[in-house]
């Protein structure tokens, strides 16, 4: 049965082939006077004229636009601090994340840090809680993290070699402008990483320690099946608006907790994969496809029935053989989807990742959530995490 929960998705969605055209008028209605556009300085923004067009949309409404450029994947704490300085100096009243999860997460962290007297990293170390933040809007160009309507921000502190998250309703974006047309030119690797990320968000919620099926399980099975279906189609036909639209909306629903309420969630795969990003700057989606198959093989005998159902409902594995054989075929089918369809790495050697820091990463992953373990489907500590890293390190 569902556990007790409270759930609000306070983001207003404007979705369609002209969605971003309305950002000026919509933020004008919200009283915006000065905005900070957070972006990655990517070639796409300049070749298409999108960045200048967004600035023109603001200018037409009398809104001053400033920029925080150069956001990198696995967004850096240094950029967050730079953005906070701009916000305070220029009296910015809205943040605009233009791009994917890295730009959006940076905008969220800046929005919170600008109204906090201490160091913004306090939020990520659990020394302070985000009580208030400037409002955030999003123009999504890279469907992946679901950050456009999520209450979480993830930032990489390169000095500490630590990637950490913090969450608060105060940083959930107020408005998300979602135009699938802006995603048609995404390169295959970026598209694939996004699909892997949203798929993983659903698996972290699906592999619960619950021994009962409820409505959330059925919703997740349908969405995971949809990701496999439309993820395959979009990799084959990347200019197809319909497929891009499906993927864009699935990514949003996957991570605003609509399909996570009322259940214990796992997140061990994310916690372990984050160490690859923190230490080697591995793209997040690729980190997940490297770690997840080996996490699954390590834990599948706990709640074996759930892995059987996953194999049958998501990957159409026939109900033939023992439960263990079916479960393992499901894991193999997922790994094949990652490797052959998405063309992403599924082990360290696929991405030339060093294997000399496994113990260090295991210890750091154990502390990822601020406890002495990670996971709920199966509780993992450093020795167990090390076994998963060793299995993936080939």
- The 10s digit of each residue's pLDDT in 132-175 is 999 999 999 999 999 999 999 999 999 999 999 999 999 999 99
Band (197; pLDDT cuts 50, 70, 90): very high
pLDDT of residue 369 exceeding 80, the answer is no
| Average of per-residue pLDDT across 237-254 | 97
Indicate the CATH number of 12-182 among 3.40.50.150, 3.30.70.260, 3.40.50.2000, 3.40.50.1970.
Answer: 3.40.50.1970
Q: Which two tokens stand for residue 224?
A: 């995971």
> Per this entry, what is the length of the chain?
394
Q: Where are the domains of the chain?
A: 12-182, 188-392
302-347 confidence digits (pLDDT tens): 999 999 999 999 999 999 999 999 999 999 999 999 999 999 999 9
- First-to-last alpha carbon distance for the chain, in angstroms, is 41
pLDDT at 1: 66
Residue 70: left (phi > 0), alpha (psi -120 to 50), or beta? left
pLDDT at 210: 87
Measuring CA to CA, how many Å separate 329 from each of 186, 250, 300, 326? 31, 25, 12, 5
pLDDT of residue 371 exceeding 90, the answer is no
Q: Across the chain, what does the average pLDDT equal?
A: 96
pLDDT at 2: 82
Choose among 184, 245, 176: nearest CA to 23: 176
pLDDT at 351: 97
- The domain 188-392 having CATH identifier 1.20.1090.10: the answer here is yes
Torsion of CA 168, 116, 99, 247, to 10 degrees: 0
């Amino acid at each position: 049965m569902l556990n007790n929960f409270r759930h609000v998705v306070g983001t207003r969605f404007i979705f369609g082939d002209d969605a971003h055209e309305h950002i000026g008028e919509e933020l004008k209605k919200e009283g915006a006077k000065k905005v900070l556009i957070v972006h990655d300085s990517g070639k796409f923004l300049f070749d298409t004229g999108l960045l200048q067009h967004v600035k023109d949309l603001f200018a037409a409404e009398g809104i001053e636009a400033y920029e925080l450029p150069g956001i990198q994947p696995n967004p850096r704490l240094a950029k967050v601090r730079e953005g906070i300085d701009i916000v305070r100096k220029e009296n910015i009243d809205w943040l605009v994340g233009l791009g994917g999860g890295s730009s959006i997460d940076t905008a969220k962290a800046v929005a919170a840090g600008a109204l906090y007297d201490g160091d913004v990293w306090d939020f990520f170390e659990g020394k302070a809680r985000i009580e208030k933040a400037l409002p955030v809007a999003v123009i999504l160009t890279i469907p992946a993290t679901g950050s456009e309507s999520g209450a979480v921000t993830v930032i990489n502190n390169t000095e500490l070699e630590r990637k950490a998250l913090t969450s608060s309703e105060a940083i959930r974006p107020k408005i998300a402008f979602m135009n699938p047309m802006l995603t048609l030119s995404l390169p295959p690797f970026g598209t694939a990483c996004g699909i892997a990320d949203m798929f993983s968000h659903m698996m972290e919620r699906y592999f619960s320690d619950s021994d009962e099926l409820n409505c959330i399980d059925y919703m997740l099975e349908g969405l995971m099946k949809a990701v496999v279906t439309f993820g395959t189609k979009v990799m084959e036909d990347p200019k197809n608006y319909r497929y891009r639209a499906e993927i864009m909306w699935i990514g949003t629903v996957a991570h605003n907790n609509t399909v996570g309420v009322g259940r214990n969630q796992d997140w061990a795969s994310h916690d372990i994969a984050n160490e690859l990003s923190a230490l080697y700057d591995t793209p997040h989606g690729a980190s997940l496809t490297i770690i997840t198959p080996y996490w699954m093989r390590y834990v599948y005998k706990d709640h074996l029935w759930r892995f059987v159902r996953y194999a049958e409902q998501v990957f159409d594995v026939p109900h033939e053989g023992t439960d263990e054989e079916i479960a393992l075929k499901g894991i193999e089918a997922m790994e094949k989807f990652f490797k052959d369809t998405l063309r992403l790495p599924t082990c360290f050697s696929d991405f030339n990742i060093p294997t000399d820091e496994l113990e260090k990463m295991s210890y750091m992953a154990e502390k990822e959530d601020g406890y002495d373990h990670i996971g709920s489907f199966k509780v993992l500590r450093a020795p167990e995490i090390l076994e998963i890293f060793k299995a993936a390190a080939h």
